[in-house]
Amino acid sequence: MLSVGLTGGIGSGKSTAARRLRELGAVVIDADAVAREVLAAGSEGLAEVIDRFGSQVLAADGALDRAALAGQVFGDEVARQDLERITHPRIAARTDQLLAAAGPGDIVVHDVPLLVEKNMGSRYHLVVAVDARPQTRVARAVERGMNENDVRARMAHQASDAARAAAADVLLDNNGSQEDLAADVTKLWNERLRPFEANLSSGTVFRRPDTPVLVEGSDWDLQANRLIERIGRALGERAPEIEHVGSTSVPGMRAKDVIDIQVGVGDLREADDPDFIQALAAAGFPRVDSNRMDHPTDAVPDPSLWIKRFHGSCDPGRVAHVHVRELQSAGWQYALLFRDWLRADEDGQADYEAVKARLSAETDSSTAYAEAKAPWFNEVWPRMQAWAQRSGWHD
Ligand code: ADP
pLDDT exceeds cutoff 90 at 369: no
Examine residue 208 and state whether it is found in any structural domain, yes or no: no
Q: Do 174 and 243 reside in the same domain of the chain?
A: no
CB atoms within 10 A of CB 290: 6
Examine residue 214 and state whether it is found in any structural domain, yes or no: no
Q: Which of 202, 228, 258 represents a domain boundary (last residue)?
A: 202
Q: Do 267 and 147 reside in the same domain of the chain?
A: no
Could you tell me the CATH number of the domain that includes residue 325?
A: 3.30.460.10
Q: Do 254 and 224 reside in the same domain of the chain?
A: yes
pLDDT of residue 275: 98
Q: Do 37 and 153 reside in the same domain of the chain?
A: yes
Cβ of residue 12 lying under 6 Å from some atom of ligand 1: yes
Q: Do 257 and 378 reside in the same domain of the chain?
A: yes
Examine residue 364 and state whether it is found in any structural domain, yes or no: yes
Examine residue 211 and state whether it is found in any structural domain, yes or no: no
Ligand 1 mean position, distance from CA 357 (Å): 46
Q: Do 74 and 198 reside in the same domain of the chain?
A: yes
Q: Which of 129, 97, 100, 102 is nearest to 113 (CA)?
A: 129
Q: Which of 249, 261, 256, 307 is nearest to 285 (CA)?
A: 261
To the nearest whole number, what is the mean pLDDT of the chain? 95
Task: Return the residue whose CA atom lies nearest to atom 7 of ligand 1.
Answer: 15
Ligand 1 mean position, distance from CA 137 (Å): 8
Cβ of residue 10 lying under 6 Å from some atom of ligand 1: yes
Ligand 1 mean position, distance from CA 34 (Å): 21
pLDDT exceeds cutoff 80 at 135: yes
Ligand 1 mean position, distance from CA 66 (Å): 24
d(C-alpha 34, C-alpha 95), whole Å: 7
Ligand 1 mean position, distance from CA 16 (Å): 6
Q: Do 196 and 258 reside in the same domain of the chain?
A: no
Examine residue 213 and state whether it is found in any structural domain, yes or no: no
d(C-alpha 301, C-alpha 112), whole Å: 51
pLDDT by residue (tens digit) across 170-179? 999 999 999 9
Q: Which of 202, 233, 265 represents a domain boundary (last residue)?
A: 202
Examine residue 264 and state whether it is found in any structural domain, yes or no: yes
**Mutate-to-test residue for ligand 1 from 12, 14, 16, highest number of ligand atoms within 8 A of CB:** 16
Domain ranges, residue 47: 2-202
Mean of pLDDT values over 259-286 = 98
pLDDT exceeds cutoff 90 at 322: yes
**Residues whose CB falls within 8 Å of the CB of residue 103, separated by 6 or more in sequence, listed in order:** 1
Q: Which of 137, 167, 202 represents a domain boundary (last residue)?
A: 202
Q: Do 276 and 192 reside in the same domain of the chain?
A: no
Q: Do 17 and 43 reside in the same domain of the chain?
A: yes
The number of domains in the chain is 2
Cβ of residue 174 lying under 6 Å from some atom of ligand 1: yes
Examine residue 212 and state whether it is found in any structural domain, yes or no: no
> Per-residue confidence at 133, pLDDT binned at 50, 70, 90?
very high
Ligand 1 mean position, distance from CA 168 (Å): 19
Cβ of residue 190 lying under 6 Å from some atom of ligand 1: no
- Are the C-beta atoms of 126 and 26 separated by less than 8 Å? no
Q: Do 228 and 164 reside in the same domain of the chain?
A: no
- CA distance readout (Å), 338 to 23, 67, 117, 300: 48, 57, 35, 15
Cβ of residue 178 lying under 6 Å from some atom of ligand 1: yes
Could you tell me the CATH number of the domain that includes residue 141?
A: 3.40.50.300
Give, rounded to a whole angstrom, the gap between the first and last alpha carbons of the chain.
37
Examine residue 296 and state whether it is found in any structural domain, yes or no: yes
Q: Do 303 and 360 reside in the same domain of the chain?
A: yes
pLDDT exceeds cutoff 90 at 132: yes
Q: Do 170 and 230 reside in the same domain of the chain?
A: no
pLDDT of residue 359: 87
pLDDT by residue (tens digit) across 177-216? 999 999 999 999 999 999 999 999 999 999 987 677 889 9
Model's pTM, two decimal places? 0.94
